[in-house]
Amino acid sequence: MLRICLRRFCCMKLFNAGGANVENISTSTPCEGTAPLEWQIQPFVPMTFTALTQISRSVDVDLMEKVAEAGGLRTLLIRHPELFSVSKVGSVYVARRLQKGRKEHKTSFKSDAKHKKRQDKDMISSHHVKSYPVAKRPPLEVFCLFPTFFIPVDALITYVREIRMAGSEEKKSNTRWISMSEDFGSPEEFVRKKMKEYDDFIEVVSINETSSSNVSDGDNSGDKIVRHCFVRLRTSLVEFAKQNEEALEKEEDGTCGDALHIDNVMELYEVPQYEQYRAARLIDIVEEFVPISQEMQQEASLLLTEGRSLIHVFVSAPHLFEIRDSPELSVRFLLDPKYKPSITHTKDEIAHKLEEIREGALKNGLRMPIDRRKRRMLSRQLQFLTKPTPYFDEAVLAHAVVDVLPLDGPVSVAHLMPKLPKECVNCMPSALGRLFNHFPHLFRVFDGEREMLVQRADIPAPEQRRISTIQSDEILLVLYNAYPRRRHPNSGTCLHRCLHNLPLRVRLRIRQLDFLEDVLRKHPDKVEMLGVDEELMKNCSPSANLQMFHLFRFVGDLQQDLVKRYEALCAKLGVDPDTTTQLV
């Protein structure tokens, strides 16, 4: 009986294309300052490929200054290929750690280990899988053969074949982790035997794909059956896998920990979440089985890592996809009920309300005020009643948005929407800011002059203008654009009525100024000061800031434009503009 260690193959490339799996990064304390710089930065680099911008944001400021002096983060990581792997996905540089931290630096990522342990426990409980008692714990060999994520069985067979080809000297020096006799048979026979032996500890998915060379003439005699088989460790054993990894590392004094754990060896076969969400776009409706056609698989090749099977992606996410091969090869997207919108009207009523909004958008050649949140809410409901798509899943939606964002800086939401499919736009939530803020690893959000700006999180933030340089005439222009459209221009408005519609940077600048003296009284040709808004002052405390409630109105051409806009709105609503001061 011969037992072979996996040390030799810990860095073996089994997949020809890399991938990036962006995840939350622990803000653990760096190593002691006396350690080499590469060892100080090591705890901040995850074991999976992560964007360098994400890594740099988790590093202490003092340590990043040292890294900058050494030539930058990418230069430092490339300089130490024995510790880090640096790659490029599209136009984004990503990196991962190749080995655990040295023994004297293990305290550097205790918090990260605790966080991962808690994540694993949550994953186990979420699957409602019964944990194995101590007496029924699987043997160590299980954790050396089967990873915690689905991989093709063919990849495991290739891996065993490489082990068998290991040199005799190495076989003698590594004697315990995988048991295989000298006559264990072919790698295929060995893997099948182990899968049968450890059937209680693994999950196996087999999918048959039929391809025909005679589809055009209706002859099925040329049909070819391709069998796709995938395997992983049961989710209830993830905690045991982590415990065994720690025990093995301690037993080997940290010299063979990565090699002993199959997750590290097969890492390139793990399907990252962003590929799962990209694949979801290929399914045009939820909760119904859709055929996995050749056209779908060809389209998937543009969205996935080169060489990645679309069937593998579907199998890797059982919480998102249900796949079957009878009566035909097909897949169904499982939409979480929390993403289903609340329906407030019938399908015809919603369509009628949206048509009213569209007709009222342009009238008499003037742009009309639009309640965009209401329009998005109604469009979302109508899309769900007409054809619910995977875009209702916010993660699928967010990854579709980030894929069309430019690489050179932020873009306004108005310019972003035309780049997205119509079904995607219709699934947008009413509060777009909440969507972007929910995925901080994907988006950065900025206040523009008139609307929100958004950009990818993995590119540098643009240099923003200093707040103190914002001039009073610029503030007046922003106030003009934010004037309440249902309030008559002759009645005027006050800062309190329009402050919430102003960009954050303008609001901060107003707080630095005396609004009456530094803004209003400086421009008598553009604005006229009135009295205090008595209507609002009735509900205010005596200590309220009077500048917030001082009425003002625009004059000249600005006033005329506001009056035309107000009259157009009154015409739409069938109201006489001369007899009203504001519209309800």
| Under 8 Å between Cβ of 355 and 349 | no
Is residue 15 assigned to a domain? no
Q: Are residues 234 and 311 in the same domain?
A: no
Q: Are residues 176 and 247 in the same domain?
A: yes
Nearest to 351 by CA among 298, 419, 426: 426
Is residue 11 assigned to a domain? no
Q: Are residues 280 and 263 in the same domain?
A: no
The model carries a pTM of 0.61
Length of the chain: 584
Q: Are residues 475 and 452 in the same domain?
A: no
| Torsion angle in degrees (nearest 10) through CA of 297, 298, 304, 305 | 110
CA distance linking residue 282 with residue 301, whole number of Å = 11
Is residue 17 assigned to a domain? no
Q: Are residues 264 and 280 in the same domain?
A: no
Is residue 246 assigned to a domain? yes
**Average pLDDT of adjacent 10-residue blocks, the chain of 584 residues:** 37 35 35 67 83 81 81 85 79 74 38 41 39 57 88 92 66 47 75 91 91 51 81 86 66 48 86 95 94 93 91 95 92 93 90 81 52 86 94 96 90 90 92 90 82 86 79 89 84 84 82 89 90 78 77 90 86 79 68
| Segments forming the whole domain that contains residue 150 | 140-211+224-270
Residue-wise burial string across 225-264, b where 16 or more C-beta atoms lie within 10 A, e elsewhere: eeebbbbbbbbbbbbbbbebbeebbeeeebebbbbbbbbb
Could you give the angle at which helices 347-361 and 372-386 cross, rounded to 10 degrees?
A: 140
Would you give the distance in Å from CA 45 to the centre of its chain? 19
In this predicted structure, what is the pLDDT of residue 465? 74
Q: Are residues 330 and 369 in the same domain?
A: no
Among candidate residues 334, 365, 383, the one where a domain is terminated: 334
Count of domains forming the chain: 5
Among candidate residues 285, 307, 334, the one where a domain is terminated: 334
CA distance linking residue 416 with residue 421, whole number of Å = 11
Q: Are residues 447 and 368 in the same domain?
A: yes
Q: In the sheet that 84-89 helps form, which strands lie side by side, from edge to edge? A: 50-51, 92-97, 84-89
Is residue 61 assigned to a domain? yes
CA distance linking residue 435 with residue 414, whole number of Å = 16
Query: Residue 527, exposed/middle/buried by CB under 10 A (0-12, 13-18, 19+)?
Result: buried
404: Cβ contacts below 8 Å, ≥ 6 apart: 416, 419, 420
57: Cβ contacts below 8 Å, ≥ 6 apart: 25
Our CA angle for 131, 135, 140, nearest 5°, is 85
Is residue 549 assigned to a domain? yes
* Residue 449 DSSP symbol: S
CA distance linking residue 328 with residue 332, whole number of Å = 12
Give the other-Cβ count within 10 Å of 153's Cβ.
Answer: 20
Q: Which amino acid is at 277?
A: Y
In this predicted structure, what is the pLDDT of residue 18? 35
Q: Are residues 521 and 475 in the same domain?
A: yes
Q: Are residues 353 and 432 in the same domain?
A: yes
Is residue 219 assigned to a domain? no
Nearest to 26 by CA among 114, 122, 124, 85: 114
Is residue 146 assigned to a domain? yes
340 three-class SS? coil
In this predicted structure, what is the pLDDT of residue 176? 47
Of the CA atoms within 13 Å of residue 294, those in its CB half-sphere come to 5
Q: Are residues 426 and 440 in the same domain?
A: yes
Q: Strands 50-51 and 92-97: what pairing? A: antiparallel
In this predicted structure, what is the pLDDT of residue 112? 40
Q: Are residues 251 and 150 in the same domain?
A: yes
Among candidate residues 270, 287, 304, the one where a domain is terminated: 270
Q: Are residues 507 and 399 in the same domain?
A: no
95 three-class SS? strand
**To which residue do tokens 């894929």 refer?**
403
CATH classification at residue 171: 1.10.10
